[in-house]
């Protein structure tokens, strides 16, 4: 192979710069030509040993001989890779190695072998599996915290133990009935059941202890007494306002991960989030009860007031009236809803002007002496007050009618009415003060943009502000849909017919984007069990994503067929595009909430889609091929099948 010693020395110098072991064997005779320094370290041989060794003396046993026999095929195949090949070291020990063979021209002159211990491959694979397990555990912990709050703490602690590969994980949590912090979770009996705030304050933000080190506080002393190998702690909450402490311990033989400190901090933050969500939900429940009680009380007061109360909208249509209208004007409250106020307040004087003035100026209007007719024609002296309630599009007018013939009774209700009027004013002011700043921001941005013009350098920043407003609105809609319990109306659905109807609506977009649509429907496809509304949301999201991926045109392929599942038949829908594909490092996260590769995406489209498919007792999966495209596969149960009836 090497015509002169300078070539050999040059090759050895270059090969020695590689971290991976290199061995060159002859392609025409059983001998070793040369190797690099990494191979000498791996095998324990010296360079002079290569002159007396043959390949079969290095790669031994039956497996080694089979590999040497197959090396002759490397000139016909570019994929020559061998795993777990037994190699004998200079010390006589046989170790498994992975080989990658490269034939050197001219044919059959020599073969260059790249070698590495097989344990490195298995270790890397195990590490990848561990990372996947950790990410899955982290996603599950996050979902549990968001969905169940503090009620999910036992499950979060158990998942944290798996997440950290720890033997024990527990927290010391602030107690509502005691000043101490009480344990929640499993720790060895040497650990205390409760700790005082002073003891917790001495620990600091995070601590690390390993067997052989001097323990600095009671938890580390307990770990040493329990014969633990390592202990990590992280405070839960904000600095100077700790609400608990997370403790993770590893027994002998259970090595903490290299990034244990950060992982423990992540677990502590998740526990903190779960506790905070639990507190917020408890407060929310209490607020809902308080609001419900207040609404019921207001409704009761609305009906209990002896004055006649009529609520009208901007079109002077009656929205609501209390039962006093029956006594005063002879109408039942239900029959006046939807009527114009002029058809109910009938008299010689027109009240429309006063009501419109109250709406227009958002101020109270009053008519002290007004004659209105009862339904039977009887004239009544009435004191009318019109009070604006709310603001903006929700502005309403509360019309209060007081019978002057019962002045004494009305005076008894004056204080109550004054309180209601004050409450209405406070409510209007509060709504005004909350809504106006938001409207002012939006109006101000538009005004500034119009004054600066499209050519101004700040116009792009203003466009971004408006775009972010639109994105936040979409994000809020998606979050509400994602958090709201799904109410599916399952029915028998002809999926090919439904797909044709959806694609027909999208055909103008396809033509505009230069996208061709190809469909393939199995004529024997049975009816699917699905909720048409939510399933269409999933399909439209996939089509929209495909169009965005094929910004310069392409082909959208839709295939519907029947497949045999593990326990029953299912219907398979494939949506494929010819876009650039999804990067391999991101494909495992595309169904995670708030993860997006789009500049203006919310990161909830595919998360919502998977949630909808799970509710359908179906699945959604993705395959992506770089520079070739992406395929989403949906499986739906057949209507009337076992999966549909479970």
DSSP states along 384-417:
EEEEEES-GGG-EEEEEEEEGGGHHHHHHTHHHH
Predicted pLDDT at 93:
93
What whole-number distance in Å separates Cα of residue 182 and Cα of residue 144? 22
What whole-number distance in Å separates Cα of residue 142 and Cα of residue 480? 18
Length of the chain: 646
Report the candidate in 370, 365, 372, 369 with the shortest Cα–Cα distance to residue 328: 372
Please name the helix (run of DSSP H) or strand (run of DSSP E) that holds residue 335, with its range, or none.
helix 333-336
Lowest-confidence region among 468-477, 548-557, 576-585 = 468-477
Q: Which residue has the tokens 């070793």?
A: 32
End-to-end CA distance of the chain: 70
Q: Which SS3 state, helix, strand or coil, does residue 174 take?
A: strand
Q: Which residue has the tokens 């959604």?
A: 620
Lowest-confidence region among 228-242, 478-492, 528-542, 623-637 = 478-492
Q: How, if at all, do strands 515-521 and 491-493 pair? A: unpaired
Lowest-confidence region among 103-112, 423-432, 496-505, 559-568 = 423-432
Predicted pLDDT at 9:
78
Predicted pLDDT at 466:
63
Predicted pLDDT at 252:
85
Predicted pLDDT at 528:
92
What is the pLDDT confidence band of residue 507, given thresholds at 50, 70 and 90?
very high
Determine contact, residues 242/268, Cβ cutoff 8 Å.
no
CB atoms within 10 A of CB 509: 12
Q: How, if at all, do strands 569-577 and 554-564 pair? A: antiparallel
List, for residues 48-89, the tens digit of each pLDDT value: 888 889 999 999 999 998 888 888 777 777 678 899 999 999
List, for residues 322-377, the tens digit of each pLDDT value: 888 888 888 988 888 999 988 888 888 888 888 888 888 888 888 888 888 888 88
pLDDT at residue 501 tops 80: yes
Predicted pLDDT at 78:
65
Residues 6+ apart with CB under 8 A from 361: none
List, for residues 288-318, the tens digit of each pLDDT value: 899 888 888 888 888 888 888 999 998 899 9
pTM for this model (two decimals) = 0.40
pLDDT at residue 494 tops 90: yes
Q: Which residue has the tokens 């992982």?
A: 263
Cα distances from 496 to residues 199, 523, 524, 615, in angstroms, run: 67, 9, 11, 21
Predicted pLDDT at 440:
55
Lowest-confidence region among 4-18, 83-97, 263-277, 578-592 = 4-18
Predicted pLDDT at 518:
93
What whole-number distance in Å separates Cα of residue 633 and Cα of residue 623? 8
pLDDT at residue 643 tops 70: no
What is the arithmetic mean of pLDDT over 571-600? 86
Report the candidate in 592, 612, 488 with the shortest Cα–Cα distance to residue 139: 592
What is the pLDDT confidence band of residue 475, given thresholds at 50, 70 and 90?
low
What whole-number distance in Å separates Cα of residue 597 and Cα of residue 394? 39
**Counting beta carbons within 10 angstroms of the beta carbon of residue 183, is it exposed (0 to 12), middle (13 to 18) or buried (19 or more)?**
middle
What is the pLDDT confidence band of residue 432, given thresholds at 50, 70 and 90?
very low
What is the pLDDT confidence band of residue 471, given thresholds at 50, 70 and 90?
low
What whole-number distance in Å separates Cα of residue 300 and Cα of residue 196? 49
Predicted pLDDT at 486:
75
Task: Please write down the long-range contacts of 509-513, taking CB distance under 8 Å and 24 or more positions apart.
Answer: 509/547, 510/547, 510/556, 513/547, 513/550, 513/551, 513/553
CB atoms within 10 A of CB 456: 13
Cα distances from 41 to residues 138, 175, 602, in angstroms, run: 40, 59, 52
Residues 6+ apart with CB under 8 A from 281: 149
Angle at CA of residue 611, ends 547 and 534, nearest 5°:
65
Cα distances from 352 to residues 386, 390, 484, in angstroms, run: 11, 20, 43
What is the pLDDT confidence band of residue 540, given thresholds at 50, 70 and 90?
very high
Lowest-confidence region among 60-64, 212-216, 239-243, 496-500 = 239-243
What whole-number distance in Å separates Cα of residue 622 and Cα of residue 602? 19
Six-digit token pair at 576?
A: 């494929």
Six-digit token pair at 283?
A: 């407060």
CA 227 to chain centre: 40
Q: Which SS3 state, helix, strand or coil, does residue 627 take?
A: coil
pLDDT at residue 421 tops 50: no
Predicted pLDDT at 129:
75
What is the pLDDT confidence band of residue 600, given thresholds at 50, 70 and 90?
low
Residues 6+ apart with CB under 8 A from 383: 366, 367, 368, 369, 370, 401, 402, 404, 410
Residue 17: DSSP 8-state: T
Rounded to the nearest integer, the mean pLDDT of the chain is 83
What is the arithmetic mean of pLDDT over 390-413? 74
Determine contact, residues 41/50, Cβ cutoff 8 Å.
no
Orientation of helix 153-163 relative to helix 118-148, angle to 10° = 170
Orientation of helix 459-483 relative to helix 414-452, angle to 10° = 130
Determine contact, residues 110/1, Cβ cutoff 8 Å.
yes
DSSP of 549-594, one letter per residue? HTTT-EEEEEEEEEEE-SSSEEEEEEEEE-S----TTTGGGTTSTT
Determine contact, residues 619/612, Cβ cutoff 8 Å.
no
Predicted pLDDT at 244:
86
List, for residues 217-262, the tens digit of each pLDDT value: 888 899 999 999 999 998 888 767 778 889 999 998 778 888 888 8
Predicted pLDDT at 429:
42
Cα distances from 600 to residues 115, 494, 548, 624, in angstroms, run: 47, 34, 12, 22
pLDDT at residue 485 tops 90: no
pLDDT at residue 642 tops 70: no
Predicted pLDDT at 419:
54
What whole-number distance in Å separates Cα of residue 371 and Cα of residue 405? 12
H/E/C letters for each residue in 481-541?
Answer: HHHCCCCCCCEEECHHHHHHHHHHHHHHHHHHHCEEEEEEECCCCCCEEECHHHHHHHHHH
What is the pLDDT confidence band of residue 577, given thresholds at 50, 70 and 90?
very high
pLDDT at residue 180 tops 90: no
């Amino acid at each position: 192979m090497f015509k002169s010693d300078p070539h050999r020395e040059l090759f050895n110098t270059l090969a020695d710069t590689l971290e991976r072991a290199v061995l060159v064997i002859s392609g025409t005779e059983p001998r070793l030509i040369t190797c690099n320094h990494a191979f000498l370290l791996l095998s324990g041989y010296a360079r002079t040993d290569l002159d007396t060794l043959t390949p079969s003396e290095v790669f031994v046993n039956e497996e080694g001989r089979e590999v040497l026999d197959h090396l002759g095929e490397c000139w016909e195949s570019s994929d020559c890779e061998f795993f777990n090949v037994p190699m004998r070291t200079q010390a006589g020990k046989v170790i498994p190695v992975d080989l990658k063979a490269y034939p050197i021209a001219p044919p059959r002159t020599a073969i260059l072998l790249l070698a590495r211990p097989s344990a490195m491959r298995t270790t890397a694979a195990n590490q990848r599996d561990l990372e996947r397990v950790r990410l899955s555990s982290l996603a599950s912990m996050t979902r549990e915290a968001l969905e169940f709050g503090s009620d999910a703490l036992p499950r979060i602690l158990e998942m944290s133990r798996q997440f950290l590969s720890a033997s024990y994980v527990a927290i010391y949590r602030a107690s509502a009935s005691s000043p101490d912090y009480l344990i929640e979770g499993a720790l060895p009996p040497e650990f205390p059941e409760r700790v005082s705030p002073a003891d917790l304050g001495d620990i600091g933000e995070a601590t690390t202890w390993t067997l052989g080190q001097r323990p600095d506080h009671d938890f580390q002393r307990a770990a040493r007494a329990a014969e633990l190998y390592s202990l990590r702690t992280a405070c839960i909450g904000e600095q100077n306002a700790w609400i608990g402490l997370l403790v993770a311990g590893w027994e002998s033989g259970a090595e903490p991960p290299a990034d244990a400190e950060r992982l423990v901090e992540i677990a502590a933050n998740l526990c903190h989030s779960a506790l905070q969500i639990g507190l917020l939900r408890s407060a929310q429940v209490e607020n809902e009860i308080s609001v419900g009680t207040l609404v019921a009380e207001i409704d009761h007061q609305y009906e209990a007031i002896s004055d006649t109360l009529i609520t009208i909208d901007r079109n002077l249509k009656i929205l609501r009236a209390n039962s006093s209208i029956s006594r005063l004007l002879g109408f039942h409250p239900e029959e006046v809803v939807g009527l114009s106020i002029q058809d109910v307040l009938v008299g010689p004087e027109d009240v429309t002007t006063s009501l419109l003035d109250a709406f227009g100026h958002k101020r109270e209007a009053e008519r002290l002496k007004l004659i209105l007719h009862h339904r039977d024609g009887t004239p009544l002296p009435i004191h009318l007050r019109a009070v604006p309630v709310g603001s903006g599009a929700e502005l309403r007018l509360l019309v209060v009618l007081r019978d002057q013939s019962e002045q004494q009774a009305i005076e008894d209700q004056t204080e109550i009415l004054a309180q209601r009027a004050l409450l209405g004013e406070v409510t209007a002011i509060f709504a005004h003060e909350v809504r106006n700043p938001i409207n002012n921001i939006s109006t101000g941005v538009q005004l500034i943009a119009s004054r600066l013009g499209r050519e101004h350098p700040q116009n792009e920043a203003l466009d971004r502000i408006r775009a972010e407003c639109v994105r936040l609105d979409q994000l809020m809609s998606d979050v509400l849909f994602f958090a709201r319990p799904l109410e599916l109306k399952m029915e028998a659905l002809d999926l090919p017919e439904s797909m044709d109807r959806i694609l027909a609506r999208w055909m103008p977009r396809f033509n505009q984007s230069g996208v061709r649509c190809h469909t393939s429907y199995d004529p024997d496809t049975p009816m699917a069990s699905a909720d048409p509304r939510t399933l269409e949301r999933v399909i439209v999201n996939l089509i929209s994503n495909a169009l965005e991926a094929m910004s310069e045109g392409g082909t959208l392929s839709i295939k519907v067929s029947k497949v045999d599942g593990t326990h029953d038949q299912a219907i398979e829908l494939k949506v494929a595009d010819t876009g650039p594909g999804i990067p391999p490092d991101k494909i495992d996260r595309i169904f995670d909430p708030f993860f997006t590769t789009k500049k203006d995406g919310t990161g909830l489209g595919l998360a919502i889609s998977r949630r909808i498919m799970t509710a359908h007792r179906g699945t959604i999966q993705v395959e992506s091929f770089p520079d070739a495209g992406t395929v989403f596969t949906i499986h739906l149960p057949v209507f009337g099948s076992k999966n549909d009836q479970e």
